Amino acid sequence: QVQLVESGGGLVQAGASLRLSCAASGRTFSYYAMAWFRQDPGKEREFVAAMRWSGDSTYYADSVKGRFTISRDNAKNTVYLQMNSLKPLDTAVYFCASDVVDNTNIRERWGYKYWGQGTQVTVSS
């Protein structure tokens, strides 16, 4: 079992920055993928960014590439999502996810079994 707890959401103005954290506990193997997804009410949950506990490869949705950065602190079992130049379109509940996922499916929400409770990010114009 893997437990994930997100934090760091909030209300900010367009152009501001936020850093989300996802603290993981339980069976966090090095080959597990860690990902961020987001969901706006009435919309599908969409992929934002992903990486693994080991290795340097990162994956981003086109909509956030160049603005968001995913990173990890293995000692703290924590994954971060640094979000810069936020836009109103970034408003959503952000979820952390984890599981054994190969590179082909790392952007697919159905590939992840473990999810956090979500943290709200609201960007005002």
Digit-coded pLDDT (tens) for 40-99? 988 999 999 999 888 789 999 999 999 999 999 988 999 999 999 999 999 999 999 999
Q: Nearest 5°: phi and psi at 2?
A: -125, 130
Digit-coded pLDDT (tens) for 23-39? 999 877 777 899 999 99
Comparing C-alpha atoms, which of 91, 84, 87, 111 is closest to residue 100? 111
What does the pLDDT read at residue 52?
84
Identify the helix (H) or strand (E) that includes residue 70: strand 68-73
What does the pLDDT read at residue 54?
82
CB 113 within 8 A of CB 35: no
